[in-house]
Amino acid sequence: MTALILAGSRSMMTAVPMNLSLVCVFLLACGALLAQHEYAATDIENGGRQYTNNCVYCHGPEGDQIPGINLLQGKFRRTLSDDDIARIIREGIPGTGMPAQNMNEGSARTIVAYLRSTAAVPASTVAGGNAARGKTIFEGKGNCTACHRAAGVGSRSGPDLSDAGALHRAVDLEQSLIDPSAVILPQNRMVRVVTKDGTTITGRLMNQDTFTLQLIDSQDRLRSFPLADLRQHSVLITSSMPSYQDRLSSTELADVVAYLVSLKGTSRKEAKP
Amino acid sequence: MKTHALVLLSLAGALSAQSPVTFDRILNADKEPQNWLSYSGSTRSQRHSLLTQITPDNAKNLELQWVFQSRSLEKYESTPLVVDGVMYTVQNPDDVVALDAATGRVFWTYSYPVSPDARPCCGRLSRGVAILGDTLYIGTIDAHVVAIDAKTGKAIWDMEAGKAASGYAITHAPQIVKDKVIVGMAGGEYGIRGYILALDAKTGKEVWRFYTIPGPGEPGHESWAGDSWKTGGASVWVTGSYDPDTNLTFWGIGNPGPDWNGDKRAGDNLYSDSVVALDADTGKLKWYYQFSPHDEFDYDSVQVPVLVDTVWQGRPRKLMMWANRNGLFYVLDRVNGQFLMGKPFVKVNWMNGFDERGRPMKLASAASSKEGTLILPGNQGGTNYYNPSYSPRTGLFYIPSWDNYSSLFVKQDQDFVEGRTFGGGGPRPTTSAPVAPGTSNFRAEDDIYGAIRAIDPKTGEKKWEFKMADVTDAGILTTASDVLFSGGREGYFFALDARDGKLLWKASVGGAVRSGPMTYTVNGRQYVAVDAGNSLFVWALRQ
């Protein structure tokens, strides 16, 4: 079984310094987020990626880490237009923890698109799970470690979930468990290659170009193929991960989501005095 | 036949699973010459490969295979690792990249967020990573050690090992010994008190710490006047070596601080400018040898210790060979630190021989002064961090050298302020020194020059040299087919015959070579790699 889930990897998203964690601290006045535009699905997807890269470390995956606001549920300290939000992203708010972001208008607009889209989606329906029980299910009944790695345990053939809770909302994690193919981030796509001798290899796509392709296979091997040596190759846009809707009870699903939300990745440790 | 055997070995490695790099594999790196498992290629740090596909006869057919252009304008001083077809290298300052070693295509990139507190003196760079199991380790310029999953590029742990705001930094590739990751602190220009740390490879937890300046009550503390020990530097910024027979880890220690004014630090200033031999399990000092007591010329002894087992004056002996920044080549007994030989390999005017215990006899005139004192070698040394090589086949020791090189050493009064440079003066150049390709060289023939110098370690005599029109910061690689690879500041990478220094091949790479070359094979094909400028270049024989 190869599972796919949303986990975006900071390591895969290069050139995103941790000190950009201040980039998206929206110190905004309370008010409803007003939907003003229709946004394309690609803008929303790109905006989600921008949000994960630039905003999540201060605002959190749920958008609620700054007291008084919830970006992803449309709660601000005052009413803001799309133009207001895009401007704040680009220019920051002087004298506050929200610095100007080196971002063009188009990229800022995609974040606005993402925020508008998330505000229209209800929060997770499986709140209140038990993370410790979820860990037991993750490593046992759920067989998640057959494909996924978390906190140093499990296969690397699927996305590493060690920082899933730092990057993704509970509602998105829940969706990935119930409908794994609904949203697959590009960095989590699988690829199938067939070599000229007929061998089929499926793995997680690491990189590709006009002449070569790189993947990590089911045995955790990093492999690189000249395309000229392949009979065929195809990037898979659906997930081979089964839905857990009928495999786990709603309580168990809540527990697994709670465990994933608890996974915050590597934390920096202080020096010995 | 030997070549064929190695090719088969390489093929087997490429087809087998990418198995974890156990410490046993690192100890026995010679058994898998298709890989390069640690900074200097082996725990003995000879930077000598058993690969033989590239020979003096065919080196002229070397052809560029691929280039990795880093997204950093900082100079590249690193040596990559290669494990079963995957190359791991750094992108300055502290990113880590996994590449297909045959094509240079990227598997993943780990981006390290450097603290704004970082203040390395001499380049925002890393000289490489270490690997143990499936985990990579990097020391960062803000003095963290980070463990990274070698398969995915995900951080596993991140430990702050020193205070960056006070000038502590890590710029060398960590050393792996058993289940430990060993690193030392740079910061000798900031008045740090240096130390070497061993961390548990699994958790990052500190196992032992050795201060390179003894504290009150410890032997050697008396070699520092007053409180000067608290700000005495003695940094570490090049990877050490390890001897499994004695379980000793050897590290070169940097200059005392303030660098160029010793007035307030009377004494020998132990263990600055020394080699220390530490028990790898406990960090306890087994022995030391100080190359430059009470240094005022920035003669860091951070060179790579080269470990050689050979016959010395009629009997087999476990030796350590060392070409020092102070201009002298040394041979020590690495079991007990006994001084066996010291001899200049470039022009030297600060000392005149050794006493019976191996202590250099420093001239009274060899001291930094207000008006300036002319000293050879100059501030950058007769050599420096540039990787030397030893070939068991030729029996020669190869040194990247600067000769006819002097500086005017000027001292000034300076008070210590935490986190600010603490030099106490500085060197003044006595000759022009181009710093990169593209700048013009106007030197006369007898001015300062760079050379690859081959030394007979049994006598200290020069056997041959390859002279360059400019100086060199490049390391040296030798192979079991008697090919020597190196380069220089002019932006050439070249191959010499290790037996006589004859030029076999050269490539113009457009940037100074400031790193140590390495070699490996993928699917039986031998590659040679080196950093130059801010890019990594890889060659193989034309097919």
Which H or E run includes B252? strand B248-252
Contact B158 A267 (CB under 8 A): yes
CA-based Rg of chain A, rounded to a whole angstrom? 20
Pairwise CA distance, residues B541 & B60, whole Å: 8
Mean of the per-residue pLDDT values of chain B: 95
Q: What are B383-421's pLDDT values in tens digits?
A: 999 999 999 999 999 999 999 999 999 999 999 999 999
Cα A49 to the center of its chain, rounded Å: 8
A115 torsion bin: left (phi>0), alpha (psi -120 to 50), beta (else): alpha
Contact B225, B264 (CB under 8 A): yes
| pLDDT surpassing 90 at residue B339 | yes
> CA B167, B170, B171 angle in degrees (round to 5)?
115
Contact A224 B159 (CB under 8 A): no
Q: What are B469-489's pLDDT values in tens digits?
A: 999 999 999 999 999 999 999
Q: What are B203-217's pLDDT values in tens digits?
A: 999 999 999 999 999
Per-residue burial over B492-527, b = 16 or more CB atoms within 10 Å of its CB, e = otherwise: bbbbbbbbebeebbebebebbbbbbbbbbbbebbbb
Residue of chain A minimizing CA distance to B154: A11
Q: B518 to chain A, minimum CA–CA distance in Å?
A: 21
| pLDDT surpassing 60 at residue B9 | no
Contact B84, B14 (CB under 8 A): yes
Contact B17 A221 (CB under 8 A): yes
Interface contact A246, partner B, CB < 8 A: no
Contact B153 A12 (CB under 8 A): yes
For B183-251, give the secondary structure using H, E and C.
Answer: EECECCCCCCECEEEEEECCCCCEEEEEECCCCCCCCCHHHCCCCHHHHCECCCCCCCEEECCCCEEEE
Residue B398 corresponds to which tokens in the numbers above?
A: 């190869």
ipTM confidence = 0.87
List Cα–Cα distances, B267 to A11, A217, B295, B422, in angstroms. 48, 60, 10, 18
Q: What are A24-36's pLDDT values in tens digits?
A: 444 333 333 444 5
pLDDT bracket for residue A258 (50, 70, 90): very high
**What is the pTM (predicted TM-score) of this model?**
0.88
**Regarding the domain delimited by A18-119, which CATH topology (the fold level of the hierarchy) does it fall under?**
Cytochrome Bc1 Complex; Chain D, domain 2 (1.10.760)
3-state SS assignment for residue B341:
strand
| pLDDT surpassing 50 at residue B152 | yes
Q: What are the two backbone dihedrals, phi and then psi, of residue B342, each rounded to the nearest 5 degrees? A: -145, 135
Which H or E run includes A223? strand A222-226
Question: Can you state the angle between helices A250-262 and A131-139, rounded to 10 degrees?
Answer: 100
3-state SS assignment for residue A6:
coil
3-state SS assignment for residue A202:
strand
Q: What confidence score (pLDDT) does residue B1 get?
A: 39
Q: Counting beta carbons within 10 angstroms of the beta carbon of residue B469, is it exposed (0 to 12), middle (13 to 18) or buried (19 or more)?
A: middle
List Cα–Cα distances, B55 to B7, B59, B341, B480, B481, in angstroms. 14, 6, 33, 9, 5
* Amino acid found at A34: L
- Please state the length of chain A: 273
Interface contact A226, partner B, CB < 8 A: yes
Torsion of CA B258, B473, B47, B198, to 10 degrees: 30
Residue ranges, comma separated, of all CATH 1.10.760.10 domains in chain A are 18-119, 131-179+242-262
Interface contact A227, partner B, CB < 8 A: no
Q: What confidence score (pLDDT) does residue B435 get?
A: 65
Q: What are the two backbone dihedrals, phi and then psi, of residue B459, each rounded to the nearest 5 degrees? A: -125, -20
Residue ranges, comma separated, of all CATH 2.30.30.100 domains in chain A are 190-236
| pLDDT surpassing 60 at residue B516 | yes
Contact B140, B120 (CB under 8 A): no
Q: Counting beta carbons within 10 angstroms of the beta carbon of residue A178, is it exposed (0 to 12), middle (13 to 18) or buried (19 or more)?
A: middle
Closest CA to B516 of B84, B95, B46: B46
**Regarding the domain delimited by A190-236, which CATH topology (the fold level of the hierarchy) does it fall under?**
SH3 type barrels. (2.30.30)
Strand partners, A240: none
| pLDDT surpassing 70 at residue A41 | yes
Place of tokens 């207000």: B370
Pairwise CA distance, residues B540 & B62, whole Å: 5
Give the rounded percent of residues in chain B with a pLDDT score beyond 70.
96
CATH assignment of A131-179+242-262? 1.10.760.10
Strand partners, B437: B439
Interface contact A17, partner B, CB < 8 A: yes
CA-based Rg of chain B, rounded to a whole angstrom? 22
Residue A261 corresponds to which tokens in the numbers above?
A: 């939300």
Close Cβ partners of B177 (under 8 Å, ≥ 6 residues apart) = B23, B198, B242, B249, B280
User: What average pLDDT score do residues B95-101 get?
Assistant: 98
Pairwise CA distance, residues B380 & B153, whole Å: 36
Domain ranges of chain B: 2-541
Which residue from B103, B113, B161 is facing A212, i.e. has the nearest CB? B103
Which residues in B lie closer than 8 A to residue A149 (C-beta atoms)?
Answer: 149, 152
Strand partners, A134: none
Contact B163, B144 (CB under 8 A): no
Give the rounded percent of residues in chain A with a pLDDT score beyond 70.
81
Q: What confidence score (pLDDT) does residue A16 get?
A: 29
Best mutation site among B18, B21, B124, B154 for testing chain A: the one with the most A CBs within 10 Å? B154
Residue of chain B minimizing CA distance to A19: B113
List Cα–Cα distances, B444 to A105, A176, B431, B433, B448, in angstroms. 57, 71, 10, 12, 9
Q: B96 to chain A, minimum CA–CA distance in Å?
A: 9
Pairwise CA distance, residues B422 & B435, whole Å: 24
B309 is an active site residue: no
Pairwise CA distance, residues B25 & B33, whole Å: 11
User: What average pLDDT score do residues A193-199 get?
Assistant: 96
In the set B298, B300, B403, B531, the catalytic residue is B298
Q: What does B486-534 look like in DSSP terms, one character per residue?
A: EE-TTSEEEEEETTT--EEEEEE-SS---S--EEEEETTEEEEEEEETT
Pairwise CA distance, residues A239 & A208, whole Å: 19
Which residue from B105, B148, B204 is facing A207, i.e. has the nearest CB? B105
pLDDT bracket for residue A122 (50, 70, 90): low
Mean of the per-residue pLDDT values of chain A: 81
pLDDT bracket for residue A17 (50, 70, 90): very low
3-state SS assignment for residue A100:
coil
Close Cβ partners of A153 (under 8 Å, ≥ 6 residues apart) = A139, A145
Range of lowest pLDDT (A166-175, A244-253, B168-177): A166-175
List Cα–Cα distances, B256 to B182, B219, B272, B289, in angstroms. 22, 17, 5, 15
So what CATH class is B2-541? mainly beta
Pairwise CA distance, residues A241 & A180, whole Å: 6
Which residues in A lie closer than 8 A to residue B103 (C-beta atoms)?
Answer: 212, 224, 226
Torsion of CA B502, B506, B509, B511, to 10 degrees: 20
A149 torsion bin: left (phi>0), alpha (psi -120 to 50), beta (else): beta
Pairwise CA distance, residues B105 & B95, whole Å: 16
List Cα–Cα distances, A165 to A174, A248, B248, in angstroms. 12, 20, 43
| pLDDT surpassing 60 at residue A10 | no
